[in-house]
Amino acid sequence: MMAYNIVIPMSKKKIAFLSYAHEDNDFAERIAIELRKARIDAQIDKWDIKPGDSLIQKIFVEGIPKCDFFLILLSDASVRSDWVREELDLAMIKKIEGETRIIPLIKEKCEIPHPLRTLLWVDLSADFDAGIRKVVKSIYDVSEKPPLGTIPEYITELKNSVGGLSQVASTVGSILLSRQDDQLDFEKGYTGEEIRRLVPMLTKEEINDAVDELEEYGLVRTGKDVDTALYNFSYIESTYALFLHFKDEGLDYDPIEDIKIVASVAASEGKIFGNKIQERTKLPPVRINRAVAYLEDYGIVRVHKYLGAVGSTALLNFFVEATRKTRQFVEENCK
């Protein structure tokens, strides 16, 4: 039995609706049991929907609209589930209205839905107990952050222009690069407020202008939805072009070398899946994605996507096919 060193208020219980695919039923029940031990009213259909009940009434009228937290269990099965998508769509509306918080839970490596990419998720695949503790602390708003220090010198001043960009665009671009996690399968996204906290000397208007400039040059991509009153975007994430543009600004690897490595592997194999590229090259997944995106955009390889791979290239959802241009590129650049 897990122990939680948390002072739990007794005045009002927390309600958490757990969305999951039925293929993950046992794992979802395990989560719900642990949450209820922490006095969190975890709701799953196995417990809360009885024979003869209306699914629409129980989920979309009584369930999600009345929950304090919407927990979505992400797995290969759930990201393909139309029913889970319907539940997430309603939860996103309630989030925008400020009536619920969404906490993604990772069961296994899978494609993260775009609406969730700007949210901090909890990984239950490596350490289930530690992950559950994070969920409980988040629900009860228990903070472990240390006291605020002074703003670092490199943040208090605008960065000099990089490759013809304005100072504000160069500053935002450099911050995006410094915050990347190359262990992920995709580029990490940030909201406007997250960018503002990282560069507090910039106004909202300056951030909007910087992001617009970066997007104009193809260095970032943005998402937009109805919840963009203060900023012209809901989230921002880097493209491979940002890493190429800033490659001489202190990156710990050379993105051009990644491109050459991936092209060489593709040329030698003819056709190769994303996971096999990683096995051959030992490169982090997100760096493979950047290299493949570059090679595809410049017509050097053909990329075939499947299983709903839309937008960002998911590591396990594509294979690369070499062409005459691939072999020509390798011959001219990789010898």
CA 261 – CA 326 distance, rounded (Å): 12
Q: What is the pLDDT of residue 207?
A: 92
For residue 230 the two structure tokens come to: 């203060």
Residues 190-214 have a mean pLDDT of: 89
Say what the pLDDT of residue 242 is.
92
Give kind and range of the element (H or E) at residue 72. strand 69-74
| 11 pLDDT higher than 50 | no
Q: Measured between alpha carbons, how far is 286 from 298 in angstroms, rounded to an integer?
A: 19
User: What are the extents of the domains in the chain?
Assistant: 14-139, 153-245, 255-333
**14-139 maps to CATH 3.40.50.10140:** yes
Does residue 301 sit in helix, strand or coil? strand
For residue range 226-249, list pLDDT tens digits in order.
Answer: 555 678 888 899 999 999 998 888
At position 207, the amino acid (one-letter code) is I
In eight-state DSSP terms, residue 258 is H
Distance CA 289, CA 325 (A): 19
Nearest to 34 by CA among 48, 44, 49: 44
Least confident among 12-26, 130-144, 223-237: 223-237
**Token digits for 202?**
């910039």
Q: Which fold has domain 255-333?
A: Arc Repressor Mutant, subunit A (1.10.10)
* Euclidean distance between CA atoms 225 and 295, whole angstroms: 30
Do 261 and 253 form a contact (C-beta atoms < 8 A)? no
Report the mean per-residue pLDDT for the chain. 83
Q: At 60, which amino acid appears?
A: F
The more confidently predicted of residues 56 and 138 is 138
Q: What is the pLDDT of residue 311?
A: 43
Q: Which CATH architecture has domain 153-245?
A: Orthogonal Bundle (1.10)
DSSP line for 86-111 = HHHHHHHHHHHTTS-EEEEEESSS-P
**CA 138: distance to chain centroid?**
18
Per-residue model confidence as pLDDT tens digits over 37-68: 999 988 888 786 666 655 666 677 667 888 88
Residue 152: pLDDT band (50, 70, 90) is: low
pLDDT, tens only, 284-335: 888 999 999 999 999 999 998 865 444 444 555 788 999 999 999 999 988 7
Domains 153-245 and 255-333 share a fold: yes
**Which residue type occupies 155?**
I
Residue 127, pLDDT above cutoff 60:
yes
